[in-house]
C-alpha cells in the first residue's frame, strides 16, 4: 500500500482537476468540487497547512480514487 504524501489543499485540488473534477463553489476556506459523473468532494484550503492523513483518506473515499491512482495524478 502506497504511503500518502503530505500535501496542501491547493496541491490536492490540482491533482483532482487532472482527474476531471471542477470547482463548483467556495465557501470560506472550503472548496466544493464535482466530477461530471456525480462524485463530489470538499477540500479545505488553509494557507501553509498540510492535510492530515485521516482527512486525506476521507477525500480519496469521497472521490472514489485509490491511493496509487491519486499519487499518479501528482506527477
Q: Name the residue range of residue 45's domain.
A: 9-73
Q: What is the domain-level CATH number for residue 15?
A: 3.30.920.30
Question: In this predicted model, what pLDDT tens digit does every residue of 2-46 receive, in sequence order?
Answer: 678 889 999 999 999 999 999 999 999 999 999 999 999 999 999
| Dist CA 49 CA 67 (whole Å) | 21
Kindly state whether residue 38 falls inside one of the protein's structural domains: yes
Strand 30-35 relative to strand 40-44, pairing: antiparallel
Kindly state whether residue 2 falls inside one of the protein's structural domains: no
Total structural domains within the chain: 1
Question: In this predicted model, what pLDDT tens digit does every residue of 46-72 receive, in sequence order?
Answer: 998 999 999 999 999 999 999 999 999
CB atoms within 10 A of CB 16: 23
Kindly state whether residue 4 falls inside one of the protein's structural domains: no
Kindly state whether residue 57 falls inside one of the protein's structural domains: yes
Kindly state whether residue 51 falls inside one of the protein's structural domains: yes
| Dist CA 47 CA 50 (whole Å) | 9
Amino acid at each position: 500500500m502506497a504511503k500518502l504524501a503530505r500535501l496542501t489543499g491547493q496541491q490536492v485540488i490540482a491533482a483532482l482537476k487532472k482527474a476531471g473534477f471542477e470547482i463548483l463553489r467556495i465557501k470560506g476556506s472550503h472548496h466544493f468540487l464535482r466530477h461530471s459523473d456525480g462524485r463530489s468532494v470538499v477540500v479545505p484550503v488553509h494557507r501553509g497547512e498540510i492535510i492530515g492523513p485521516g482527512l486525506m483518506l476521507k477525500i480519496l473515499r469521497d472521490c472514489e480514487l485509490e491511493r496509487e491512482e491519486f499519487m499518479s495524478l501528482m506527477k
